[in-house]
Amino acid sequence: MDYFSNISYTVSHIFLILFLFLFITHRYSRKVTVTICFTSFMLLNVLDCLKLNIFPDSDLCYAIVTIIQIIITQSTGIIISAKRNQKVLFMGLSASNYVIVGSVAACILYIYTKSQFMALTGSFFVHLVVLYIVYKGIRELWIKQYETEYTRGWWALCLIPVFFYCSFSMIAFFPNTLYEIPENILGIICFMATMFVSYTAVLRYIESESERKDIYWKNKIFESYIKGLESQYTLVGQAEKNLKVLRHDMRHYSSMIEHLLEQGEYEEIKKIVVHINDVSGENKVKKYCNNLIVNTIISKMAEKAENFDIELRLDLSIPKEISVNEYEFTAVIANLFENAIVCVKELKKEKRYIDVKIDCCQERLLIQMKNEYEKEIAFDAVTGLPKSNKGEGHGLGMQSIRTFSDKIKGDFDCYCQGGIFTIMLFAKF
């Protein structure tokens, strides 16, 4: 039995499972997650015995078993992950690349020292150092990207670790090993350095793109906020002007009422009072909720709905101080309103309505919107969100809502039933 290879592979599997455990947020409890990881670790070791000890000279067995081990490893990451998308696969493939660095180190150390103990000890410390550097260097950056719902393009990014892994394997292990061609050592060391730099550069670029998208949506909200303030400013100015006229005319109304009282014309007096109340009501600035920013955006959306003759059925309970980020919350509301308006604006008059219920307090957040639809709504098989038929660059609003829901650990769902599209977000704090 080749104890050196067996121990080297076992050490690699330990750190591979550690990478998956540390770089993926868990769907299950810690105990269940550890059990799944340990089971995978044991399966990998059993398969190692098959290719290293039972059929050590069979290239076919080595290739088949390696493929099965890759499937087990990537399946483990997907099973334990709280989010099952392309990013989990990217992390699992990347973990295999980081671990292979330690395996290569064992080969290099053995070639130069001829000592199995030195090679295995050195390999263990290389694994440990790589894990520490990656954990401290990019884990926070990775988790931030992993938690977001922007998944566009990650299938293509998965090709990066795939090609790195294939290149490592073909240069260092199969079909020829570094023991047979030690001239490849310098090349593979440079290749490992290239891998670390490439991963860091890719993640930094993805981070900058995510920040750019966040800035874009914040700018959209500020734009809507400013337009809403401008609209309210115009309304307030017009209301002040009309109320000045009303105050100026009050002495005439008082005189008329006084004469009508002398004549006993009480019905006419009632008509004048109703007229005064109507004028006062028309110039009252609507207040939908106590939060200034949210009220401004809802006012803007209500104005937009009115332009399309859409009835808003509002049931709002939003205090002045809310327990979530005001701008992110407002972005969610704006996106939901805009999507609903687009959906119903072409419908018949009796179908142009939007039911809105928002209940926000210190204990919970509930957002529910309903509207009718006629055109078929397609849902994305991966995200479960409605797909935009407008092409590239659209549909980000729904992803933004999902990201907000994930951030506050809420439940976000949307579905079609009986010609009614319903979207709901609920979080309990």
Q: Is the pLDDT of residue 268 over 60?
A: yes
Cis peptide leading into residue 175 (ω within 30°): yes
3-class SS string, 34-62: HHHHHHHHHHHHHHHHHHHHHCCCCHHHH
Give the pLDDT confidence score for residue 294 in this predicted structure. Answer: 83
Q: What is the end-to-end Cα distance of the chain in Å, rounded?
A: 57
Tens of pLDDT, residues 24-48: 888 899 999 999 999 999 999 999 8
> Whole-structure pTM over 0.75, yes or no?
no
Q: How confident is the model at residue 97 (pLDDT cuts 50, 70, 90)?
A: confident
Instruction: At 262, list the tokens.
Output: 């002398």
Per residue in 207-244, pLDDT tens? 777 677 666 666 666 666 666 566 655 655 665 666 56
Residue 338: band (very low, low, confident or very high) from pLDDT cuts 50, 70, 90: confident
Other Cβ atoms less than 10 A from the Cβ of 137: the count is 14
Which tens digits make up the pLDDT trace of 161-198? 888 888 887 888 777 778 888 888 888 888 888 887 88
In the sheet that 411-417 helps form, which strands lie side by side, from edge to edge? 311-317, 353-360, 364-372, 420-428, 411-417
Q: What are the helix and strand counts (H, E) for the chain? A: 12, 5
State which of 240-254, 279-293, 356-370 shows the largest mean pLDDT.
356-370
Tokens of 268: 């006419």
DSSP string of 325-358? -HHHHHHHHHHHHHHHHHHHTTS-GGG-EEEEEE
Domain boundaries, the chain: 3-180, 287-429
Distance CA 73, CA 368 (A): 40
Q: How far apart are CA 182 and CA 198, in angstroms?
A: 25
What tokens does 421 get? 């599209």
pLDDT at residue 375 in the model: 82
3-state SS class at 122? helix
Backbone angles phi, psi at 212, to 5 degrees: -65, -40
* Rg of the chain over all Cα atoms, to the nearest angstrom: 32
pLDDT in tens, 63-92: 898 889 989 999 999 999 987 778 888 888
The DSSP annotation for 80-92 comes to HBSS-SHHHHHHH
Mean pLDDT of 2-17: 88
CATH code given to domain 287-429: 3.30.565.10
Q: State the Cα–Cα distance between residues 255 and 249, nearest whole angstrom.
A: 10
pLDDT band at 396 (very low <50, low <70, confident <90, very high): low
* Distance, CA of 428 to CA of 331 (rounded, Å): 20
Tell me, what's the pLDDT at 376? 81
SS3 breakdown of the chain: % helix, strand, coil, rounded to 5? 70, 10, 20
Structure tokens at 251: 């002495």
> Quick one: pLDDT at residue 152?
63
pLDDT digits (tens, 9 = 90+) for 347-375: 998 899 999 999 988 888 999 999 998 88
Least confident residue range of 13-27, 167-181, 374-388:
374-388
Collapsed DSSP state (helix, strand, coil) of residue 74? helix
Provide CB contacts within 8 A for 134, sequence distance 6+. Answer: 19, 98
Those residues whose C-beta lies under 8 Å from the C-beta of residue 25, and which sit 6 or more positions away, are: 81, 82, 83, 143, 146, 147
